A and B are shown apart, each in its own frame.
Chain A
Amino acid sequence: MSADHAPPPRSRAHSAMALPSFESATRSPQRAERTPSDHSRQRFVALSVILTGFDDAELWGTGMVDPYLGWLLSVVGDQFTGDLLSASQYAIDAAKGDEAKLEQLVRDNILADPTLGPIARNLIVLWYLGEWNQLPADWRDAHGASAMDQTCIISPDAYAQGLVWKAIHTHPTGAKMPGYASWSLPPYGVEGEP
């Protein structure tokens, strides 16, 4: 998998929302090690939507788009991050809005790829748990290892913003107050969602 598979980037054909330029719109309080470009942020969100099953607004709402993309750039570098984003853009363009086809393309071209697969799986864990897992030994042997590639919760915000809490309709223990006696109420988000 390399970047030259991908046609010139364009907005997501199947997306409900074509995101325009967001220059400086999401200045992150958690200054990432790297400041990603708008273009790569949009492609990163498009990829994350596919990998997590949460939509773009939900992902932006966590405030973690910049910190996670910045982390990725710092740990696996520009080349592999670029390849991953190009591969997902290619899949989105080739699927032409067909969800089943998109899933198959992502499975074949990203998750099954020995280089991109481990990064993509790590990204899923990062979004859900705020945790980065050290890449597999094979991957590190093949591509070299960054000193930052250590298993850790990457920041306090990452823990609090983990998608796992939304997915199971509860709050991150010790990080977001739910209010006294909230345990007697139906879990947040189970009812009342439009």
Chain B
Amino acid sequence: MAITDIGDLHRHLQWALEVEHATIPPYLCALYSIPNGHNLEAATLMRSVVMEEMLHMTLVANVYNAVGGKPRICHSDFVKRYPTYLPHSSDAFEVQLLPLSPEALETFLLIERPAKPHARPEGDHYETLGQFYEAVEDGLKYLVSTLGEKAVFTGHASRQVQPGTWYYGGGGDVVAVHNLETALSALTEVTEQGEGIGGEIFDNDGRFNDVDELAHYFRFMELRMGRRYQATDTSGSGPTGNELPLDWNVILPMRPNPHSDDYRAHPTIHRQMVTFNRIYTRLLCQLEMAFTGTPSALRDAAPIMYELRYQAEALMHIPSPLGEGMTVGPAFEFDAGAKA
């Protein structure tokens, strides 16, 4: 068993935050490579996934806080340099920052790929996120059964991001966590939205008001196949519904895996990249504030997210002097100078 004491549990929940976050920059690059007003269905789909990844980070932070942990986000260690393996995974595949492309979708499918039936729970070096979260859930249950619920859920309620308060518009509502039942409910939402459960395509979860919502894996499959799932489809049949139109020709051709250092010889571009990195870093630090005792700080995180988006969109339009026919793109680097 991967988790046998509270220290193990804390470590795994910190990893869970890192994993949920590590998916966001690649998904955002795919989203922002779609120019405004184009490929509306694809853009809506990508945005819905990103919104849910943000929800997942918040749900994991609530679980982590409920068991007396302290989420650590505003730190250079929290941010991966792309291309990267998913944190603490079995390193089976690398995740890159790419514009929306068949190659990007292949990786997204790997990230969200459902666990095989009866796959073992796995803590470190997990193969699928489902197995990783199963290990976390097993650990929670084990600790509650051996130590008692009160000894595990020691976090103060004031550290919870409460539903219907500061978290708005983001891929479902949050769950305030204070015992095993609410913790499992929060973690179940994370895995159901990601990979689905038991080969189900739709997550059919009325609790979160996302009626008949596809798990991320199947949403990405729709993009890859250019076709929607319909109600009678199964994971075996693939999507057989309406066409999902996607004009690849308008996608902004971002150069893969941008790094600000690559543009040191091009000061005007470098300045725009550093501006992005500072907005990104401010956002991480604002989120850490929200997840470490000041949930109301989430309110002022949203304006930073908009800044981040507009700066990313600008970088997507700047021609890269390093790649013929390519544009610059956002690097998502931690900038210690921006810590507020």
Contacts and interface: CB of A to CB of B under 8 A. Distances in A.
Contacts of B325: 22-25
B275 A25 contact: no
Contact of B266 (A16, A180, A181): A16
Nearest to A157: B36
A29 B38 contact: yes
B314 A61 contact: yes
Interface string B265-289: 0111101101100110010000000
Contacts of B314: 58, 61-63
B267 A17 contact: yes
Interface in B62-110: none
B128 interface: no
A17 B326 CA distance: 16
Nearest to A55: B268
Contact of A27 (B252, B306, B321): B252
A21 B324 CA distance: 7
Contact of A194 (B253, B278, B299): B278
Contacts of A181: 299-300, 303
Nearest to B250: A29
Interface of A: 16-27, 29, 55-58, 60-63, 157, 176-182, 184-185, 188, 192-194
Interface string B285-329: 000000000000001101111110010011101111100111110
In the complex, which of the residues A27, A55, A57 has the most CB atoms of chain B within 10 Å of its own CB atom? A57
B278 A61 contact: no
A180 B303 CA distance: 7
B282 A16 contact: no
A20 B321 contact: yes
Contacts of B282: 192
A39 to B, nearest CB: 13
Interface of B: 35-38, 168, 249-250, 252-253, 266-269, 271-272, 274-275, 278-279, 282, 299-300, 302-307, 310, 313-315, 317-321, 324-328, 338
A29 B35 contact: yes
Main secondary structure of the interface of B (DSSP, over half): helix
A185 B271 CA distance: 23
Leading 7 A-B pairs by shortest Cβ distance: A61-B314, A179-B303, A29-B35, A182-B303, A22-B319, A57-B268, A25-B319
B338 A192 contact: yes
B321 A194 contact: no
Given A176-B310, A188-B307, A60 B317 contact: yes
A57 B271 contact: yes
Contact of B268 (A17, A29, A176): A17
B166 to A, nearest CB: 10
Contacts of A25: 253, 319-320, 324-327
B236 to A, nearest CB: 38
A22 B255 CA distance: 13
Nearest to A20: B321
Given A57-B271, A57-B318, A27 B278 contact: no
Contacts of A184: 300
